[in-house]
């Protein structure tokens, strides 16, 4: 026996001293025999701690076992049992016992050949069992791996399907958070997406978990901006925050306690990095290799979906905005006006519409050139947009005409705003080749009172007729369907509005 190796265990049950000595002599130093005299047997502790190769059981000792002890040894699959017969007993009398779990039977006297034959057969059976056990384990492992791969494929299929269901980045990220929680325990998901603005500086949109306190929101905002600057190679010039939807039973996201709780994953598509996804994971065991691969594959699909959403948003903005003035165009105005009219009819709120026209615009083009005319159009659009509420809607109606939708605005309030816009434009100075000049606008205002039912075309016609009246009366003034608004009326309305 090799030094340091423990001897193979062999047990005896009811062996005489001579039989035990014969077995020990036949096995040699590589084996150790432990024998229980007649009337004794291995207990639960013995069965739990040892792994004998063979149990040599004398028939009389085996028969003397209690049914419970015999059943325990019969069901114990660690050792092979060999029945030891006296010279007077015949092997043919014990066929039924052999069929019930005994490896073989040997008769006394126990010679070296008989003992070694038993050990050889037991080793063969053990080797066969070991091979079967190993193959079974391999099959079970392969089945488990196949099941895991199947689950991950189904996960990826679900993830990809839900990622492409919408072109709204908020919806995409909400779905991604819900799906990724099946892959790893998470406390939150946040993201930053950026794109270059008109001047080339980076403009970012942050997507944050809802219901955070002020300190947590500041922490995550700084973390997202820091990750974005690191990946983009320069800081974000500006950003705006959007909050994801929150589950009713979900706790507000807090400030993480360690860096190990954060997984930052770049969002790349078409060879460009345009964002970063941050997973705030719950403490737990490390991800397996297949889970890590699935996570990266999921983020790859997510990046494509978010990129498509961003491109769709850019296309929609270009489709809805006038290329020269950067405000909404006629098509977007028509769609918005229908929406506001429906809202007006449903809730009965007041609503107004302004139509502006730059006076003598053709002479501006003729005198100063079309480039200056384009500059005037852009400035007028900018002046109007800067003096409106976020709920108001400005559009270039065509040529030198602009329109403004004013929800929740009475006719009196629209007159005040119209006069202020007229005055702000009249006070703006332009310069062409060192020569300053100014412009004026004529404005027509129309309003819907609560409960009034007008079609889109009718409201536009009312504003257009008011604009025509303003031009007819000399331009550079505001008119409504009731007639022109004098400067004195505007001052009085302004005071009333302030009061």
The predicted pLDDT at position 324 comes to 86
Q: Locate 356 and state its tokens.
A: 């502006």
The predicted pLDDT at position 49 comes to 87
The predicted pLDDT at position 395 comes to 94
The predicted pLDDT at position 164 comes to 86
pLDDT tens sequence across 171-220: 999 999 989 888 888 889 999 999 887 677 888 999 999 888 889 999 99
Residue 460 vs residues 286, 305, 333, 464: alpha-carbon distances, Å: 64, 40, 11, 6
The predicted pLDDT at position 426 comes to 96
The predicted pLDDT at position 487 comes to 54
Residue 38 vs residues 43, 207, 212: alpha-carbon distances, Å: 14, 79, 76
pTM: 0.51
400, 411, 412, 419: which one is catalytic?
Answer: 400
The predicted pLDDT at position 425 comes to 96
pLDDT tens sequence across 51-85: 899 999 998 898 888 999 888 888 888 888 898 88
H, E, C per residue of 398-416: ECCEEEEEEECCCHHHHHH
Q: Which residues in the chain come in under a pLDDT of 70? A: 1-5, 91-100, 198, 246-249, 284, 317-318, 451-455, 486-499
Of 345, 489, 334, 361, whose CA–CA distance to 414 is shortest?
A: 489
Coarse DSSP helix, strand, coil percentages of the chain, rounded to the nearest 5 percent: 50, 25, 25
400 counts as catalytic = yes
């Amino acid at each position: 026996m090799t030094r340091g190796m423990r001897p193979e265990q062999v047990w005896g049950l009811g062996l005489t001293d001579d039989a035990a000595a014969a077995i020990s002599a036949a096995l040699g130093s590589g084996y150790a025999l432990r024998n229980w005299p007649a009337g004794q047997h291995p207990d639960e502790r013995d069965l739990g701690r040892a792994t004998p190769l063979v149990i040599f059981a004398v028939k009389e000792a085996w028969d003397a076992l209690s049914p419970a002890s015999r059943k325990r040894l019969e069901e114990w699959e660690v050792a092979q049992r060999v029945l030891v017969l006296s010279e007077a007993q015949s092997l043919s009398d014990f066929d039924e016992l052999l069929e019930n779990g005994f490896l073989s039977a040997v008769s006394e006297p126990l010679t070296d050949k008989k003992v070694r034959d038993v050990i050889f057969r037991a080793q063969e059976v053990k080797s066969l069992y070991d091979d079967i056990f190993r193959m079974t384990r391999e099959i079970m492992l392969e089945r488990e791996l196949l099941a895991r791969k199947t689950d991950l494929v189904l996960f990826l299929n679900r993830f990809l399907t839900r990622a492409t269901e919408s072109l709204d980045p908020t919806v995409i990220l909400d779905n991604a958070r819900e799906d990724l929680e099946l892959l790893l325990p998470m406390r939150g998901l946040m993201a930053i997406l950026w794109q270059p603005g008109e001047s080339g500086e980076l403009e970012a949109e942050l997507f944050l978990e809802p219901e955070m306190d002020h300190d947590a929101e500041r922490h995550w905002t700084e973390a997202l901006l820091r990750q974005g600057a690191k990946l983009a190679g320069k800081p974000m010039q500006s950003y705006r925050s959007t909050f994801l939807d929150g589950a009713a039973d979900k706790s507000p996201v807090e400030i993480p306690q360690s860096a190990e709780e954060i997984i930052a994953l770049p969002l790349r598509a078409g060879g460009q990095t345009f964002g970063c996804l941050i997973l705030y994971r719950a403490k737990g065991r490390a991800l397996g290799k297949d889970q890590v691969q699935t996570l990266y594959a999921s983020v790859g699909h997510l990046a494509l979906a978010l990129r498509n959403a961003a491109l769709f948003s850019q296309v929609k903005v270009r489709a809805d905005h006038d290329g020269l003035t950067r405000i909404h165009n006629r098509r977007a105005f028509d769609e918005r006006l229908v929406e506001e009219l429906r809202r007006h009819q449903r809730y009965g709120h007041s609503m107004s519409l302004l139509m502006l026209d730059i006076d003598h615009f053709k002479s501006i083009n003729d005198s100063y050139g079309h480039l200056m005319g384009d500059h005037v159009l852009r400035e007028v659009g900018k002046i109007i947009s800067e003096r409106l509420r976020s709920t108001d809607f400005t559009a270039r109606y065509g040529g030198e005409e602009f329109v403004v939708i004013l929800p929740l605005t009475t006719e009196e309030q629209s007159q005040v705003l119209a006069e202020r816009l007229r005055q702000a434009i009249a006070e703006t100075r332009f310069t062409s080749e060192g020569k300053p000049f100014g412009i004026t606008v004529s404005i027509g205002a129309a309003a819907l009172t609560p409960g009034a039912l007008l079609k889109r075309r009718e409201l536009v016609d009312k504003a257009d007729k008011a604009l025509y009246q303003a031009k007819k009366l000399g331009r550079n003034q505001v008119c409504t369907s009731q007639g022109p608004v004098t400067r004195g009326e505007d001052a009085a309305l302004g005071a009333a509005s302030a009061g």
